[in-house]
């Protein structure tokens, strides 16, 4: 049986919603209008980290939990596509963790909150029944490896510096996230009662 999770915790890869995922963690908006460099940096990382899992996915072709268990997932609209897409390793986890690492570099003062949000991004895939725990762990490893590789690219490093300056400018203007950050914080700290 799947736990019910708030809609804002379902790992979203489509922009602009995907960019907003981490706005509470950095306590600033991440939008094309307010933070165009940061927004574009996340979009570019989508290709690098999101697609980096496909060689392994195609080799292992691991069946997803909702298919094997014959249960619904919390993303029913994606089930038909996901049912034929390998589970191991998790592309969403690779991407969410890569975004968290990049954002922690852009905003080191909020690194703990950013990394917690990246972890929740990947763990939502297990809660939703679309990945096994080992899928998301390996996805995070691949995401970290992808970010390490991106550091060899001078364009990536320059974009990081632009994003840092841009975030400082947004903070100087006092711009805040438009999401319900209080609800997100409560959901991140929620601990289910122990099983009896």
Whether residue 151 lies in the annotated active site = no
Q: How far apart are CA 42 and CA 75, in angstroms?
A: 23
Whether residue 125 lies in the annotated active site = yes
- Quick check: helix, strand or coil at residue 91? helix
Q: Which of 92, 107, 117, 140 is catalytic?
A: 92
Q: How far apart are CA 165 and CA 129, in angstroms?
A: 39
Q: Which of 34, 131, 140, 159 is catalytic?
A: 131
Whether residue 180 lies in the annotated active site = no
Q: Which of 34, 48, 135, 159 is catalytic?
A: 135
Q: Which of 62, 64, 117, 125 is catalytic?
A: 125
> What per-residue string of b and e applies to 10-31 under the rule 16 or more CB within 10 Å gives b?
bbbeebeebbbbbbbbbbbbbb
Q: Which residues are catalytic?
A: 92, 125, 131, 135
């Amino acid at each position: 049986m799947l736990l019910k999770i708030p809609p804002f915790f379902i790992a979203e890869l489509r922009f602009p919603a995907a960019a907003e995922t981490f706005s509470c963690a950095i306590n600033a908006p991440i939008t094309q209008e307010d933070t165009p460099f940061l927004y574009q940096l996340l979009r570019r990382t989508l290709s690098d980290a999101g697609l980096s899992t496909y060689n392994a996915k195609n080799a292992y072709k691991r069946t997803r939990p909702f298919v094997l268990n014959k249960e619904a997932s919390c993303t029913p609209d994606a089930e038909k596509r996901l049912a034929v897409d390998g589970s191991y390793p998790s592309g969403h986890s690779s991407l969410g963790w890569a975004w968290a690492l990049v954002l922690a570099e852009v905003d080191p003062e909020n690194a703990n909150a950013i990394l917690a949000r990246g972890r929740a991004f990947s763990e939502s895939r297990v809660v939703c029944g679309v990945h096994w725990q080992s899928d998301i762990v390996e996805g995070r490893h691949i995401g970290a490896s992808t970010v390490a590789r991106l550091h060899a690219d001078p364009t990536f490093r320059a974009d990081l510096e632009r994003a840092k300056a841009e975030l400082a400018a947004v903070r100087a203007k006092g711009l805040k996230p438009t999401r319900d950050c209080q609800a997100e914080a409560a959901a991140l700290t929620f601990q289910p009662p122990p099983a009896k």
